[in-house]
């Protein structure tokens, strides 16, 4: 531990020099002396700027300048972590009342007992060291508290972000499930359209066959021709397109309006093909419905892609499902 650094503020030069010499002999580092409060403040500020502030200031209460020792001590303690020991020959009660707010470490009354002063300096410096250690501990604790608060705040923010992200993922998952459920429901509804149509055709054929059987006669070629005619009339796509279209628009409302708005270059036949693709039917199923060959259906799909200006990496069915 280094020497205790002192600064003497005493207007009586003889007393100041004597204190300096005696305290130096005791091993203290006396940084300087002044007889006026204004000059002492200036000198101590300069020492502090040079990182050499005094530890203890021996301050006479009654000084030569306009500023007394109490006022000078007040200014110095507000700016620097130095301890004040007042030197005074004034009445004890009067001195205490005037200097209480400064919180000095001690009072030494003149004439100064050098041994008593030495003990007072040691105790004052010990008290000052404890106060500085306590202040540092409090500052470190406050710093740690602030760091923990920031860490907790960051953790809370990350937790909130994680909760928001999970909530968003859950929403997207629910949306995906809903979309998949809607798709299944629409496919079921679409299938029901064609099942209903097939059942109708089968019913008509069954009705004709039963009528011929009730006659109790052999079925002639002309009877088969009539049955085939019934089949041909009912499997023509054009005959039932408007009814299928009405069902389709209930399942996919606004589909054709959006198609016409986004792609005005498409023909009615293109619209039919788009609807069948939107129903997720295979090329074979589309060919059977349109009464064309599978290669012709593939050619129609290629022409549709060109009209829609789709890149090769874009799936035609998925694109139409987004219309």
Q: Residue 10 is part of a domain; what is its CATH number? A: 3.40.50.2300
Residues 170 and 261 in one domain: yes
> Three-state DSSP class for 31?
strand
125 part of a folded domain = no
CA separation, residue 232 to residues 217, 225, 274, 312 (Å):
25, 10, 24, 38
Looking at the structure of the chain, the number of domains it has is: 2
Residues 86 and 198 in one domain: no
Residues 182 and 288 in one domain: yes
Query: With bands split at pLDDT 50, 70 and 90, how would you rate the model's confidence at 30?
Result: very high
187 part of a folded domain = yes
- The predicted structure's pLDDT at residue 189: 57
- The predicted structure's pLDDT at residue 102: 82
Each residue's pLDDT tens digit, 242-299: 667 777 787 788 889 999 999 999 998 899 889 888 888 888 878 877 778 889 999 9
Cα separation, 112 vs 313, whole angstroms: 101
Each residue's pLDDT tens digit, 66-75: 888 999 999 9
Cα separation, 236 vs 321, whole angstroms: 26
Of 95, 112, 129, the one marking the end of a domain is 112
Q: Which domain holds residue 307?
A: 165-321
Which one, of 84, 111, 107, lies nearest residue 97 by Cα? 107
* Count of alpha carbons within 13 angstroms of residue 297, beta-carbon side: 19
- The predicted structure's pLDDT at residue 110: 85
Query: With bands split at pLDDT 50, 70 and 90, how would you rate the model's confidence at 322?
Result: confident
Residues 82 and 223 in one domain: no
Residues 90 and 222 in one domain: no
Query: With bands split at pLDDT 50, 70 and 90, how would you rate the model's confidence at 185?
Result: low
Residues 83 and 172 in one domain: no
303 part of a folded domain = yes
What is the distance, to the nearest Å, from the Cα of residue 156 to the centroid of all Cα atoms in its chain?
A: 10
pLDDT of 96 > 60? The answer is: yes
Each residue's pLDDT tens digit, 126-155: 999 998 889 889 989 999 999 999 988 988
- The predicted structure's pLDDT at residue 173: 86
272 part of a folded domain = yes
Of 112, 145, 173, the one marking the end of a domain is 112
- The predicted structure's pLDDT at residue 239: 53
Residues 82 and 213 in one domain: no
Query: With bands split at pLDDT 50, 70 and 90, how would you rate the model's confidence at 303?
Result: very high
121 part of a folded domain = no
Phi-psi group of 291: left, alpha or beta (phi > 0 → left; psi -120 to 50 → alpha; rest → beta): left
What is the distance, to the nearest Å, from the Cα of residue 305 to the centroid of all Cα atoms in its chain?
A: 44
- The predicted structure's pLDDT at residue 243: 67
> What average pLDDT is seen over the chain?
84
């Amino acid at each position: 531990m280094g020497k205790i650094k002192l600064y003497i503020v005493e207007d009586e030069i003889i007393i100041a020099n004597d204190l300096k010499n005696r305290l130096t002999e005791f091993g203290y580092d006396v940084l300087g002396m002044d007889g006026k409060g204004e000059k002492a403040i200036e000198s101590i500020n300069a020492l502090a700027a040079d990182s050499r502030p005094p530890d203890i200031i021996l301050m006479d209460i009654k000084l030569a300048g306009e500023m007394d020792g109490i006022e000078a001590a007040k200014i110095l303690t507000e700016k620097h972590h130095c301890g004040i020991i007042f030197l005074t020959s004034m009445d004890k009660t009067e001195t205490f009342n005037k200097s209480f707010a400064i919180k000095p470490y001690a009072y030494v009354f003149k004439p100064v007992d050098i041994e008593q002063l030495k003990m007072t300096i040691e105790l004052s410096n010990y008290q000052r060291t404890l106060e500085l250690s306590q202040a540092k501990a409090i500052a470190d604790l406050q710093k740690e508290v602030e760091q923990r608060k920031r860490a907790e705040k960051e953790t809370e923010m990350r937790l909130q972000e994680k909760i928001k992200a999970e909530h968003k993922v859950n929403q997207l998952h629910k949306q995906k499930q809903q979309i998949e459920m809607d798709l299944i429901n629409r496919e079921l509804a679409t299938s029901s359209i064609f099942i209903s149509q097939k059942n109708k055709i089968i019913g008509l054929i069954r009705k004709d066959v039963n009528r011929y059987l009730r006659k109790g006669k052999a079925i002639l070629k002309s009877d088969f021709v009539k049955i085939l005619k019934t089949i041909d009339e009912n499997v023509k796509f054009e005959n039932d397109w408007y009814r299928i279209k009405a069902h389709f628009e209930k399942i996919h409302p606004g589909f054709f309006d959006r198609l016409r708005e986004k792609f005005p270059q498409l023909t009615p036949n293109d619209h039919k093909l788009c609807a069948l693709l939107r129903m997720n039917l295979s090329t074979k199923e589309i060919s059977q419905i349109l009464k064309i060959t599978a290669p012709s259906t593939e050619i129609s799909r290629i022409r549709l892609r060109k009209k829609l200006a789709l890149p090769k990496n874009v799936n035609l069915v998925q694109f139409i499902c987004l219309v």
